[in-house]
Amino acid sequence: MKKHLPLAIATVILLASICVAQEATPAPSPAAKPKPTMSKAQIQRNIIASEKKLWEAWKNKDDRPFRIALSPNSILVSETGVSDREALVKFASSSGCDVRSYALSDFRLTWLNADTAALTYKATQDVTCNGTTAPAAVWATSVWLRRGGKWYAATHQETPAQ
């Protein structure tokens, strides 16, 4: 037994030195903290505000808000057909429309899934486009999509109100 005692002590010292020499395993780092998620009510307020900005931009013939808010594959469905994003941006800044006034009301947001919402509302307007008077009131639908944490307008359609 006395012969094995020095060998046992040497083994313990050797193992202890190996254990001490190892790099400490860092504590699992917390993943990047996700941004606080907005409530559905906050998202609804933001989408409505964005929709209003687009109407104001149209009135002012300012295409910048359209370039920011429209998804790459946005479409507009109107009485003249279907327009893509580039046509929408061009229309926003150089349309032959004179937007004298407008008012938006009766907003309703319908969730299609966690990243898709349809905004419906009524717009009353005093608008002339290329010499033609636009309907005084329309029911509008805009579908908004969340991509990379940001909301984009994917489609817009208007139906004359009766």
Low-confidence ranges of the chain (pLDDT < 70): 1-36
Does 19 map to a domain? no
Give the number of domains in the chain. 1
CATH number at residue 106: 3.10.450.50
| pLDDT tens-place string over residues 112-127 | 999 999 999 999 999 9
pTM of the model: 0.76
Report yes or no on 23 lying in a domain: no
The C-alpha atoms of residue 103 and residue 138 are separated, in whole angstroms, by 11
Residue 64 lies in a domain: yes
Asked whether residue 5 is domain-assigned, the answer is: no
70 within a domain of the structure (yes/no): yes
C-alpha distances in Å from residue 23, one per residue of 61, 69, 161:
63, 50, 72
| CA 69 – CA 54 distance, rounded (Å) | 8
Range of the domain at 92: 40-160
In a domain, 14, yes or no: no
